[in-house]
């Protein structure tokens, strides 16, 4: 979500004549787009804020802005704690960012009210207001996608499209419902049009974004703007959904998430891949699974965070499902889509978590066979229900041990899941040089080498989101394959990577000359 916000901010500022630099020291304006989900991310950004404070005390003239969830959560006290910060802008107020920058650039003595755009309590209260007054939608609608990458690492062929903002779930450890506000659902027409524009501009793969995408539900004819056109609307609660899909909306026409996927698949035929994140394990209807089965360009991949295998801990987290219900969802998904690839998130060391609770989580991992899992040690976040009501009582060393145990367990499971691909030919969307190649390139710069030694390794992802690397033919050119979907024969597997070779039929492709994309290095310091 933050990546997309950064892209929208970049587009908004570029349209106003700002240019971007990869060198924060030479920038007139430095913006940090912050995440508040984990303490580590916050500490990192605050340390960078500290460094800019030193530069400013030494006389550097630079406008420093903090945008995103940390700005929203901490609010104006940040300005007294870090006087070097010139502006604060929450994720729900990004349309006001240019005005804040303008104020800060014009004068150094701006009133606090003109340096801050935060939703504050309005964030939840807007749930009852017509989302028609929601200027943030204009940011998405006016999006200027830059296929050259806008300085973020070369040409791009994949893009995010937001379908919902905010969240109504209130998991007890999470700040998102407070920092991003109530769940607001964009109109299906706006989403489909944005996908079409991106595909027409050369995008091969689109990822639909939302905190809980399967809860997307748009009721037509309810939220209308001044010109009578449909506008974003506040999403319904979980009670609007059943296992077989959303309930009827009093006879009104609705677009469900399954309907939205089907529309994009049908109305944007030039789009090669369609993905979505993140799924909420409750209320994932069979209608969505069936659309995934019937539409070949929708990736068979689910990111469905489980967080814990203990029902007691899931209750304390307010997740709204049991481990049994989660497993039932996974079984249903595999029943309808036998080749589905599943990733998850797990938190260890949540308040009161016992060895027994932890063992139940480990058992669940073995049962689901996730292709990978993002495993986090619990860290209490101010402003959440858990922060207020649940003492952080699992000692740090216990959290660390459980985290390491689960990482080791998941590595074994991931190795098995990846090994099953050996000998198969998989379709790989080529993203660019592999990580190894990028570090070798950095080394070459340091060592003064000009040419790569040996084969160049490329990296991409399968439809099931398995990272796959392969060597370019000796005289191949990376840019000829980047952004293409190519068949790769899998030769061996590691826990998180498949190693393969280009199928013979594709090798000649890698040697063709292609038009070189315009250069133009731009960088927003995020």
Q: Count of residues binding ligand SF4 (CB under 6 A)?
A: 10
Q: Is 510 in the site for ligand SF4 (CB under 6 A)?
A: no
Selected from 63, 171, 375, 417, the binder of ligand SF4 by CB under 6 A is 171
Residue 373 in contact with ligand SF4, rule: CB under 6 A = no
Closest distance to ligand SF4 from the beta carbon of 42 (Å):
16
- Say if residues 69 and 34 touch (Cβ distance below 8 Å): yes
Q: How far is the CB of 212 from ligand SF4 (least distance, A)?
A: 5
**Residues forming beta bridges with residue 443, ordered by sequence position:** none
Question: Least distance (Å) from ligand SF4 to the CB of residue 257?
Answer: 15
Q: Give the per-residue contact string, 212-241, with ligand SF4 (x = CB under 6 A; - = no).
A: x-----------------------------
* Least distance to ligand SF4, CB of residue 210, Å: 9
**Cβ closer to ligand SF4: 178 or 470?**
178
Q: Which two tokens stand for residue 192?
A: 């489909």
Which CB sits closer to ligand SF4, 382 or 395? 382
- 174 or 217: whose CB is closer to ligand SF4? 174
- Only one of the segments 113-121, 169-177, 194-202, 434-442 lies at the binding site for ligand SF4 (rule: CB under 6 A); that segment is 169-177
Measured CA to CA, the distance from residue 71 to residue 65 in angstroms comes to 9
211 makes contact with ligand SF4 (CB under 6 A): yes
C-alpha to C-alpha distance for 259 and 267, rounded to whole angstroms: 12
Residue placing its CB nearer to ligand SF4 in the complex, 358 or 376:
376
CB 514 within 8 Å of CB 483: no
Question: With CB under 6 A as the contact rule, which of the stretches 164-172, 201-209, 288-296, 457-465 interacts with ligand SF4?
Answer: 164-172
By CB under 6 A, tell whether 374 contacts ligand SF4. Answer: no
Does the protein bind ligand SF4 through residue 306 (CB under 6 A)?
no
Q: Which stretch binds ligand SF4 (CB under 6 A): 38-46, 167-175, 412-420, 429-437?
A: 167-175
Comparing CB distances to ligand SF4, the nearer of 170 and 374 is 170
- Of residues 241, 245, 341, 325, the one with CA closest to residue 291: 245
State the CB neighbour count (10 A cutoff) for residue 502.
23
Paired strand residues for 346? 307, 375
Minimum distance between the CB of residue 168 and ligand SF4, rounded to whole angstroms? Answer: 8
Rounded to whole angstroms, what are the CA distances from 488 to 156, 232, 457? 21, 41, 13
CA dihedral (16, 208, 342, 438) positive or negative = negative
Task: Check residue 177 for interaction with ligand SF4 (CB under 6 A).
Answer: yes
Window of 127-135, 166-174, 387-395, 437-445 that interacts with ligand SF4 by CB under 6 A: 166-174
Please report how close the Cβ of residue 481 comes to ligand SF4 at its closest, in angstroms. Answer: 36
186 by DSSP, 3-state: which? Answer: coil
Write down the least CB distance from residue 317 to ligand SF4, Å: 8
User: Which of 306, 340, 296, 49 lies closest to 171, judged by CA?
Assistant: 306
- Least distance between ligand SF4 and beta carbon 158 (Å): 23
Q: Name the one range near ligand SF4 by CB under 6 A: 172-180, 251-259, 266-274, 397-405.
A: 172-180
Residue 167 binds ligand SF4 (CB under 6 A): yes
Cα three-residue angle 320-302-201, rounded to 5 degrees: 125
* Cβ-contact 350, 394 below 8 angstroms: yes
Nearest distance, CB of residue 388 and ligand SF4, angstroms = 15
Residue with smaller CB distance to ligand SF4, 317 or 337 = 317
Which residues face 426 on adjacent strands?
488
Q: In 301-354, which residue ranges form alpha helices assigned H by DSSP? A: 311-316, 323-336
The answer to whether 176 contacts ligand SF4 (rule: CB under 6 A) is yes
Q: Residues 86 to 145: which contact ligand SF4 by CB under 6 A? A: none
Contacting residues for 46 by C-beta, under 8 A, at least 6 apart: 82
Contact call for residue 421 and ligand SF4 (CB under 6 A) = no
What are the residues whose beta carbons fall under 8 Å from the beta carbon of 117, sequence distance 6 or more?
A: 87, 88, 89, 90, 93, 96, 97, 99, 100
Nearer of residues 72 and 86 to ligand SF4, judged by Cβ = 72
- Smallest distance from ligand SF4 to CB 211, Å: 4
The binding track of 264-303 with respect to ligand SF4, each residue x by CB under 6 A or -, is ----------------x-----------------------
**What ranges in 20-144 are assigned the alpha helix state H?**
39-57, 69-74, 77-81, 97-106, 122-125, 136-141
Q: Does 174 bind ligand SF4 (CB under 6 A)?
A: yes
- The enclosing H or E element of 499 equals strand 498-502
For residues 185 and 241, give the distance between their C-alpha atoms in angstroms, rounded to a whole number: 15
In terms of Cβ atoms closer than 10 Å to its own Cβ (0-12, 13-18, 19+), residue 523 is middle
Residue 308 Cβ, how far from ligand SF4 at the closest point, in Å? 12
The angle at the Cα of 472, spanning 467 to 474, to the nearest 5 degrees, equals 160
Q: Rounded to an integer, what distance in angstroms lies between the CA atom of residue 274 and that of residue 205? A: 6
> What DSSP assignment string belongs to 8-26?
HHHHHHHHTT----S-GGG
Place of tokens 């209750």: 315
| Pick 219 or 384: Cβ nearer ligand SF4 | 384
Identify which of residues 171 and 497 has a Cβ nearer to ligand SF4 in the complex: 171
Within 8 A by CB and 6+ apart from 105, the residues are 28, 29, 63
Candidates 169, 215, 377, 402: give the one binding ligand SF4 (CB under 6 A).
169
List contacts with ligand SF4 (CB under 6 A).
167, 169-171, 174, 176-177, 211-212, 280
């Amino acid at each position: 979500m933050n990546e997309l916000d950064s892209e929208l901010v970049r587009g908004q500022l570029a349209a106003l004549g700002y240019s971007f630099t990869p060198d924060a020291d030479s920038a007139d304006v430095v913006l940090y787009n912050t995440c508040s989900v984990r303490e580590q991310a916050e500490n990192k950004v605050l340390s960078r804020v500290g460094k800019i404070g030193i530069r400013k005390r030494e006389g550097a003239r630079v406008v420093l802005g903090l945008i995103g969830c940390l700005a929203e959560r901490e609010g104006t006290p940040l300005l007294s704690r870090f006087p070097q910060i010139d502006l604060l802008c929450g994720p729900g107020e990004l349309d006001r960012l240019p005005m804040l920058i303008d104020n800060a650039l014009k004068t150094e003595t701006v009133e606090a009210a003109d340096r801050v755009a935060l939703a504050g309590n309005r964030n939840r209260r807007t749930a009852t207001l017509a989302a028609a007054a929601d200027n943030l939608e204009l940011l998405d609608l006016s999006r200027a996608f830059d296929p050259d990458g806008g300085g973020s690492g070369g040409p791009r062929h994949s893009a995010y499209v937001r379908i919902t903002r905010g969240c109504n779930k209130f998991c007890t450890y999470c700040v998102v419902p407070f920092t991003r506000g109530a769940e607001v659902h964009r109109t299906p027409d706006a989403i489909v049009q944005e996908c079409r524009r991106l595909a027409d501009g050369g995008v091969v793969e689109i990822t639909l974004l939302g905190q809980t995408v399967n809860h997307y539900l748009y009721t037509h004819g309810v939220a209308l703007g001044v010109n009578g056109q449909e506008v974003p609307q506040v999403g319904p609660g979980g009670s609007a959904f059943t296992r077989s899909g959303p309930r009827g909306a009093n006879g009104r026409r609705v677009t469900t998430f399954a309907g939205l996927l089907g529309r994009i698949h049908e109305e944007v035929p030039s789009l090669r891949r369609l993905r979505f994140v993140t799924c909420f394990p409750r209320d994932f209807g069979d209608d969505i699974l069936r659309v995934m089965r019937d539409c070949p360009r929708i990736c068979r991949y689910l990111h469905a965070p489980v967080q814990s295998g203990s029902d007691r801990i899931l209750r304390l987290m307010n997740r709204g499902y049991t481990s049994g219900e989660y497993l039932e969802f996974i079984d249903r998904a595999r029943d309808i889509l036998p080749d589905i690839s599943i990733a998850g998130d797990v938190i260890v060391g949540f308040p009161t978590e016992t060895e027994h609770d932890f063992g139940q989580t480990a058992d669940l991992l073995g049962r689901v066979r996730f292709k990978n899992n993002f495993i986090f040690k619990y860290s209490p976040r101010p402003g959440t229900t858990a922060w207020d009501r649940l003492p952080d009582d699992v000692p740090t060393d216990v959290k660390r041990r459980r985290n390491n145990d689960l990482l080791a367990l998941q590595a074994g499971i991931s190795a098995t899941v990846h090994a099953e691909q050996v000998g198969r030919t998989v379709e790989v969307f080529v993203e660019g040089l592999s990580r190894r190649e990028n570090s070798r390139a950095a080394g070459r710069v340091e060592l003064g080498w000009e040419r790569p030694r040996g084969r160049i390794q490329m990296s991409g992802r399968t439809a099931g989101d398995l990272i796959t690397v392969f060597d370019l033919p000796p005289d191949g050119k990376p840019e000829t394959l980047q952004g293409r979907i190519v068949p790769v024969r899998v030769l061996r597997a590691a826990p998180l990577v498949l190693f393969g070779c280009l199928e013979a039929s594709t090798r000649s492709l890698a040697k063709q000359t292609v038009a070189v994309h315009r250069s133009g290095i731009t960088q927003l310091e995020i």
